[in-house]
A and B are shown apart, each in its own frame.
Chain A
Amino acid sequence: DGGITQSPKYLFRKEGQNVTLSCEQNLNHDAMYWYRQDPGQGLRLIYYSQIVNDFQKGDIAEGYSVSREKKESFPLTVTSAQKNPTAFYLCASSIQVNTEAFFGQGTRLTV
């Protein structure tokens, strides 16, 4: 089955810890994204990557870091510098930037 897999589904973090959220896709998509969603709000862009070994900051990148060493993988690290990390984190991919995106099931992070 082709798709996007995020893990873990739920994550609890103590203050001061860094945690890494996994995102893997087997759709052969070039572009990948990380969004954050807070209760009752829309999605806000954290980071995006157009191609392997390249990534760009989105609107709320402070306190987060990413890597894109493989086409299939785009992990997100939530660092201790992120002041309000509790949220629903969504990874997405698309054939190329600015085309329809497909989402993983999300990770709920609680601090």
Chain B
Amino acid sequence: RKEVEQDPGPFNVPEGATVAFNCTYSNSASQSFFWYRQDCRKEPKLLMSVYSSGNEDGRFTAQLNRASQYISLLIRDSKLSDSATYLCVVTQPGRRALTFGSGTRLQVQP
């Protein structure tokens, strides 16, 4: 089983739609969780951290479910500019670097 698994997509949605991505992780002792955004042929950029209580940043909401070992990202009112690959990232005990999922590609269409 991969350490971090994501549905690769692509998710094709119309502008204004709400879309949700899930990501599962294998190590129940993982401590920190993040979502990064990566545009085509660019570097990943931090979108938001994921807190146990869930957190929101504008149109973006992240949630953590430790019992089921998954995190989610909800994007409301999708914009064309949201088109990108979204990377799920976790930390793992005994490993001193972030572990990245392969990413979920989102394509928002006019």
Please report A residues at the B interface, Cβ cutoff 8 Å. 31, 33, 35, 40-43, 45, 48, 50, 56, 58, 88, 90, 97-106
With beta carbons under 8 angstroms apart, the residue of B31, B44, B103 that contacts A103 is B44
CB pair B102 A41 closer than 8 Å:
yes
Whole-angstrom distance between the alpha carbons of A14 and B45 in the complex? 31
Whole-angstrom distance between the alpha carbons of A90 and B4 in the complex? 19
B-side contacts of A102, CB under 8 Å:
46
With beta carbons under 8 angstroms apart, the residue of B32, B43, B87, B91 that contacts A42 is B87
With beta carbons under 8 angstroms apart, the residue of A33, A100, A104, A105 that contacts B49 is A100
- Chain B residues within 8 Å of chain A by Cβ, number: 22
With beta carbons under 8 angstroms apart, the residue of A31, A41, A43, A98 that contacts B32 is A98
CB pair A105 B97 closer than 8 Å:
no
Distance between A104 CB and nearest chain B CB, rounded to angstroms? 6
Q: Which parts of B1-59 form the interface with A (CB within 8 Å)? A: 4, 8, 31-32, 34, 41-46, 49
B-side contacts of A45, CB under 8 Å:
97, 99
Lowest 7 A-B CB distances belong to which pairs?
A: A42-B102, A97-B96, A103-B43, A43-B100, A98-B91, A42-B100, A48-B97
Please report B residues at the A interface, Cβ cutoff 8 Å. 4, 8, 31-32, 34, 41-46, 49, 87, 91, 96-103
Distance between A65 CB and nearest chain B CB, rounded to angstroms? 17
Chain B, Cβ-Cβ closest to A42: B102
With beta carbons under 8 angstroms apart, the residue of A40, A43, A48 that contacts B44 is A43
B-side contacts of A101, CB under 8 Å:
46, 98
A-side contacts of B43, CB under 8 Å:
90, 103-106
Additional A-B contact list (6), CB under 8 Å, known A40-B102, A98-B96: A40-B8, A41-B102, A42-B101, A42-B102, A98-B97, A103-B43
With beta carbons under 8 angstroms apart, the residue of A41, A58, A100, A103 that contacts B97 is A58
CB pair A100 B34 closer than 8 Å:
yes
CB pair A103 B45 closer than 8 Å:
yes
